[in-house]
Amino acid sequence: MKNRLIVATLALSLFGAMLSTPPAFGGETPVSNQSATNSSAELAEPAATKDAASVTAVETDVAQPAEITPETSPTTNPATKPETQAPVPATPQPSEPVQDNTDPTPTATQEPSAPVPAPLLAGSPEPPAPAKPLAVEIVVKGAVKVRWDSLNGQNGPLGAPLSKEESNPGYIVQEFKGGFIYVDAGTGSHHILASSAIGKVWYGGGKDAAEGFGVPVSDEIPAENGSYQKFSGGKWIFSTGLSLNTKGGIGRKWLAGGGLATLGVPTSNEMCALRDGGCLQGFKKTTIFWSPTSGSHAVHGGILGRYKTNGMQAGPVGYPVGPETCNLPQKGCFQNFQNGQILWVAGTGAFSVVIGPIGNHFNSQGGTAGFLKFPRGEQVCGQSDNGCYQNFQGGVAYSANSTGAASVHNGKFLSGYQRRGWHNGTLGFPKAQQVCGQPNGGCYQDFRNGRLWSNNAHTNAYMTMGGIGSSYTAKGGPRSYLGYPISDEHCSGGQCVQTFVGGYIGWGSGGAGGYYNMSECQNLNNGRSRYTTGGANRVLLTFTNGYNQAYATVIYCKRIAGIYVTDWKSDGYVGASGFKAPGVPSGPTRNLFSPTGSYTFTEAFGLGNPGTKLAYRTLNPNSRWGGNPWTPTYNKYHESTSWVGWDENMWYFATRAQHDYRQGAVINYNRPNIVQDAGFAIFLHENKVPTAGCVSIDDWAMVDFLQKATPGDRIIMGVKSALFK
């Protein structure tokens, strides 16, 4: 019996040593100094029946087991660390005890050492590995547990707890494998999942109230195309991955503007480090801008589109300083910015008006309520004279260093300005607004290089400038007999001329300067003459109002810079039988008809040259003009001592009391290519009475004509309706 107790005791002692000490693989016999009592205590500890990592505490606290630490065995290399032990089986099965005949008591000189298991006997099973330490049990309780359980506990998206519940000022928190549960004193319990889109943003921004987003104070709330969650830091995270700081200037403006219901979800995160230290954030229906000097303001719709096109806060108008307001004419809207406005109206769109000369002028003219109305384009600068311009519904506004700011109205003025090359043309920049109240609904506007005129009677606007413009103003402008201009000034060869309703003003060399009355000379300029002037410097218009009439109107037209003007206007006579129809020869002088057509002057005659440039023949008693057809002298000058047949005795007509030929000029009708019996001796001469086919005028007129005439000058003669269209 005693031996059996000893054997049993030794067996238990050996089994205990095997549980606590890893087996040694050597030739030496280990010596154990572990008592039987200690071995019994180890055996009394219940083995784990589950994986320690899966153990979770319930509501009641459980005492934490002591940690079991395997001892190290002696080794020939003490610097080498023991390997990690394999897990202990749930229910270890000891091998049969082996009889140990060695003395377990150490000698007096021998130091106690850690027990070493005996070598394995042949055929013996391998001893079990030492047991793994039990994991710490984590308690889930209270409101956290209620939330956790509602999410299916450790089988739900949060999984098992990773830490015990932690108390913080105002809330408690517990971490799980899949996220956190927070219990807030004011808002209750809320969770956040690491795997969700919101959780990913939140995890990246810090998890406590002092940094990042703060703790959740709401569950996920449905929103357009997803959801969002609120946090104690005032920030909201959206499932789109974007966030919003409702306590910042932009977020407060967003909330005040209606938030999600009115302005929509964020379309970008808040972007800062902008001009002047500003920020912006985009939303579905607006973009909100903030800067320290301008505050927070939303910009949307067409105005936002223009603002983006122009560079937003980095563009010419800067940050918004007020809300969009829609109380303008045409149901238009505007928004004020640091450096101007952006205005919008249907059909035209949105454009900016920048503070400066044009912007100030726009406001001085009544803004959108004035004639300019809404802008139709952006301001364009970089013009000559540091100039700028901008198109509006009612006209174009300009500014330049030398003229200041002024605008040109739509209609005749703007069309006239365009035809003259805008501000780069003859007029230059406008320097004042149009002035109306002139006769016949007329107006004028001054530009750098001239003045533009318009009135109700004429489709187009015309300009005056320089010396002619000054003369026109001195004469009384449209209130004088000249009336309004009906052409611009025309210049050529050092001469200038301009046509007005009642006449002309000339300027320049060659006697061009002066005022000239309006007459049928104008028909030579406007294409209404049926007969050519041949480019003559002067044209004598002679016409009757009908056939079989001898009394005629005589107008002397002179050309200034290519324009025929009225030198003088008088009366006279033609053949007593009147004019023949166009293309019909006048016939013999005895029929008393004058021919119709355009004929040149090349020579003159009389009793003494008054100073003409025409070839001049001084008459003498033998001077004759042949009137006998089919003779060598027909329709030619010749001298003879006798008066034969139908020849004209020029001396007689020059010296008789009526002095017809005292001064005269040859009208080159039927010459130099002479047609027999078609007519002859068609002259321009003195003695203003009906003639045998010639044209007779006052003496003064005849002399003036000769003094001004040059070879190639013309007479256009006939019935008025035959001459002009």
Q: Looking at residue 22, what is its pLDDT? A: 40
Q: Looking at residue 68, what is its pLDDT? A: 34
- Torsional sign, CA 556, 559, 563, 567: negative
Q: Looking at residue 185, what is its pLDDT? A: 86
> How much is the CA Rg of the chain, to the nearest whole Å?
60
Nearest C-alpha neighbor of 412 from the set 375, 456, 470, 378: 456
- What stretches in the chain show pLDDT beneath 70? 1-135, 207-211
Q: pLDDT digit string (tens) for 446-500?
A: 999 999 999 999 999 999 999 999 999 999 999 999 999 999 999 999 999 999 9
Q: Looking at residue 225, what is its pLDDT? A: 87
Q: Looking at residue 19, what is its pLDDT? A: 39
Q: Looking at residue 463, what is its pLDDT? A: 97
Amino acid at 416: G
Q: Looking at residue 212, what is its pLDDT? A: 82
At 531 the three-state DSSP class reads: coil
32-to-46, 70, 88, 400, 691 alpha-carbon distances in Å: 24, 15, 21, 111, 171
Task: Provide the CA 397 distance to its chain's centre, in angstroms.
Answer: 17
Q: With a threshold of 0.85, does the pTM exceed it?
A: no
Task: Label each residue of 403-442 as H, E or C.
Answer: CEEEEEECCHHHHHHHHCCHHHCCCCCECCCCEEEEHHHE
User: Edge-to-edge, what's the strand order for the sheet holding 442-447?
Assistant: 435-438, 442-447, 450-454, 462-464
Q: Looking at residue 130, what is its pLDDT? A: 61
The Cα–Cα gap between 159 and 174 comes to 12
Q: Where are the extended beta strands (E) located within 16-149?
A: none
